[in-house]
Structure 1
Amino acid sequence: MIADDAIVVRGLFARWIEAEPDMTLVGSLRNGREAVDEIERIKPDVVILDVDMPELDGISALPQLLAKCPGVTVIMASTLTRRNAEISLRALALGATDYIPKPSSQNDIGAAPEFRRDLIEKIRQLGRRGQQRAAGLAPVTDAPSLVPQAKAPHHYLAPHTPIMLRAMPAAVPRVLLIGASTGGPQALGKLMADIGPVIDRVPVLITQHMPPTFTAILAEHLGRLSKHPAREAVHGEEIVPGTIYMAPGGRHMSVAQPGAAPVIEIVNSAPINFCKPAVDPLFSSAAMVWGPRALAVVLTGMGHDGLAGAHDIVHAGGHVLAQDEASSVVWGMPGQVALAGLCSAVLPVDDIAAKLNRLFAAESA
């Protein structure tokens, strides 16, 4: 079901959805009021909900939709403004499953194949996840039928391969690296609120798949939750303990050590794994800088970004933790590293903070 006051957007989304063999458009509505009035009759699996609409906007309609249709997957859609980014992130806290930033004009929407790909993939993966949960079925990774094996990147493992865990770090890590995508803002919020002792000891570097503006606001939010400085990283700045560095939306973040201290590198190069920022550049570069003292966490997200970088970390003697399937919005990114045998632990999101606090305090993990 689509709820958007722009007729051109509704028509475009409808054509894209109807072109997919596994999707059916069940409703195309002009505002939040119509969506609230019709949702019980339509009973959609997924709602694409615009933020700015007359009569009843998206953030006001959201709790009413969830009350009338518990468990429905709601994807917020908004243009890239600071106000809309703040609203979209607030919607996640209110129960929206995900968001998608619309290009700044209706003409841009039609001319952006990557936007169409992202929208359709979010509908497919999140809708499938919602159906599985509603039916009480075990969720499945959104990985393709085969996933790359870490020790031999051109060989493959079946997705139901038993997860083989590696040993925990013997030495205290010197950096915490985090990669996340769909569902990541909610997971990061839980994590940052509870790992103050870790942040006191080491720098925390995060790549969350997000567009510009969104990453700056997420960093501010994580700073408030963690009670530590958190900001978009700046090219060339020295990396120090006690600070959370967020990869800026639309650019890749990596690290280097040209002198005594490691520094941030920000580059505006092509997308990697269809993502910008991507997790792989951060993980792979951190493996070279910190080697066996690097610890990475892969949180919920679609796709396989982070898999190659996790392999580099493990190959350099570092360690990787992953969010488990049950607590992930989509078990794509963490599922791939887990299935590839790269993880020292696969944990519910609520248990990851306690594990990190023990590891960085050199306590028994």
Structure 2
Amino acid sequence: MSLASFKAASSSPPPSPIDPIKVMVVDNAVVVRGLVGRWISEETDMKLVASHRSGREAVADIAKVNPDVVILDIEMPDMDGITALPLIIQAKRDVMVLMASTLTRRNAEISLKCLSLGAADYVPKPETNAGVTTSPAFKREILDKVRALGRRRKISGRAFRAASPAGSPAAAAAPRVSSPSIAPQSVGFNDSGFKLRAMGTTIPKVLLIGSSTGGPQALTTVLKALGSFIDRVPVLITQHMPPTFTTILAEHAAKASGRPAAEGRDGEPIQAGRIYVAPGGKHMVVRKTGGTNVIHLEDGPPINFCKPAVDPLFTSAAQAWGAQTFGCVLTGMGHDGAHGAGDIVAAGGSVIAQDEATSVVWGMPGAVAQAGHACAVLPIDQIAPKIMRVFSGDRS
């Protein structure tokens, strides 16, 4: 399947679905509940099965209505979202939970904490009810994420929380999944086969990582396993996130890896031993200045509906490092990164992708694999070991 066909298939709802995605909306604001509920009801492949004002009501109703996706607010009376989340997962371990919160530092911290407890993804809400009613971007993001998570839930028959820490409620609830040698059929693909490329012949000097839905958990797994290896190379990360969230993501990256991590700053020289995170609301690219590769932040329009986007980072890095570029595409909806991955391999570099079984959504890595740009498609726990072998000269 061509990339254009993949994009069309992954962005359009299926015609006349027999089994629509069942959605529960849990939000303190009656305006938000009503509006989001109406959006869901208007989609032919979705069905609103419940609408509640508190986490306690949601927990009490979860088994009865049996939703595929729960949109869960953080700030609610009686029982807030972070309290309700593990109880919802305990009551229905295969549900996909989409956290919703306004863009405050506190809510961003809570949202990322919820991801570690088993939530599949999050969506930032406009700060006012009026903003909710007038934001087409919020509506599109809600529907796109519900559709992607709901499809994943129905295809797998279970929610897979790829990187939940041992001992967390999600880890206790999630079934064990073995990764197949060939990825199973994914949404939007006519067949499951894809061709792997040979690894590049040049030892890389930079590690690029792109991710989206499920990315914070996957990034934690990879960076923790890399640890002191990062002393040898710079690591540049684009994760689809808004401002404030990326600041906290960088702090989490530093904690997971034990290495310095921060949002990239315009004009900052790129050095080994550091992790650079694309700041929310800006595209992070690489430019060569006086023979030195530096971070450059661009305030252009969204690319692939994303800002920051993976493609500009990958493409600019390929221009800067050529065959010494190594890219990794982790879990995420959509196809961002596929074009940039093609530029990396065209420059003589290499790209690997996360497999479907351990991805929350196999959109971005699936697009890279199906386009023929990947040298390997691996489960999340094999990504870091593969990276370290390749940077040590292993070409297999």
Q: TM-score, normalised by structure 1?
A: 0.93
Matched, 1:303 2:334: yes
CA distance, structure 1, for counterparts of residue 200 and residue 343 of structure 2: 16
SS at match of 1:331: coil
Alignment of 1:1-365 (within 5 A): 1-134=24-157, 140-142=185-187, 145=188, 159-160=190-191, 162-363=193-394, 365=396
CA distance, structure 1, for counterparts of residue 395 and residue 136 of structure 2: 49
Gaps of 5+ in 2: 1-23, 160-182
Aligned residue identity for 1:184: G
Of all paired residues, the percent bearing the same amino acid is 57
CA distance, structure 2, for counterparts of residue 140 and residue 30 of structure 1: 37
Aligned residue identity for 1:173: P
Counterpart contact for 2:185–2:191, Cα < 8 Å: no
Q: What is the Cα deviation at residue 140 of structure 1?
A: 4.3
Aligned residue identity for 2:375: S
Counterpart contact for 2:251–2:262, Cα < 8 Å: yes
Q: What is the Cα deviation at residue 161 of structure 1?
A: 6.0
Counterpart contact for 1:97–1:183, Cα < 8 Å: yes
Q: What is the Cα deviation at residue 165 of structure 1?
A: 1.1
Q: What is the Cα deviation at residue 203 of structure 1?
A: 0.3
How many residue pairs end up in the alignment?
Answer: 351
Alignment correspondent of 1:153? none
SS at match of 1:266: strand
CA distance, structure 2, for counterparts of residue 362 and residue 200 of structure 1: 17
Q: What is the Cα deviation at residue 164 of structure 1?
A: 1.1
Q: What is the Cα deviation at residue 363 of structure 1?
A: 4.1
CA distance, structure 1, for counterparts of residue 394 and residue 370 of structure 2: 27
- 1:114-162 deviations in Å (ceiling 9; x for gaps): 11111001111101111222279x86434xx4xxxxxxxxxxxx64262
CA distance, structure 2, for counterparts of residue 251 and residue 112 of structure 1: 20
Counterpart contact for 1:140–1:331, Cα < 8 Å: no
Q: What is the Cα deviation at residue 170 of structure 1?
A: 2.1
Q: What is the Cα deviation at residue 38 of structure 1?
A: 1.1
CA distance, structure 2, for counterparts of residue 159 and residue 334 of structure 1: 16
Q: RMSD across aligned C-alpha pairs, in angstroms? A: 1.6
Aligned residue identity for 1:30: R
Counterpart contact for 1:197–1:357, Cα < 8 Å: no
Counterpart contact for 1:132–1:139, Cα < 8 Å: no
SS at match of 1:129: helix
Change (3 A) 1:101 1:32: same
Counterpart contact for 2:185–2:192, Cα < 8 Å: no
Q: What is the Cα deviation at residue 197 of structure 1?
A: 4.0
SS at match of 1:25: strand
Gaps of 5+ in 1: 146-157
Counterpart contact for 1:133–1:139, Cα < 8 Å: no
CA distance, structure 1, for counterparts of residue 263 and residue 42 of structure 2: 38
Counterpart contact for 1:311–1:342, Cα < 8 Å: yes
Counterpart contact for 2:199–2:395, Cα < 8 Å: no
CA distance, structure 2, for counterparts of residue 92 and residue 161 of structure 1: 29
The 4+ residue runs of structure 1 with deviation greater than 3 A are 138-142
Aligned residue identity for 1:309: G
CA distance, structure 2, for counterparts of residue 189 and residue 135 of structure 1: 22
Counterpart contact for 1:198–1:356, Cα < 8 Å: no
- 1:288-335 deviations in Å (ceiling 9; x for gaps): 000000000000111111111111111111110000111111111100
CA distance, structure 1, for counterparts of residue 110 and residue 185 of structure 2: 30
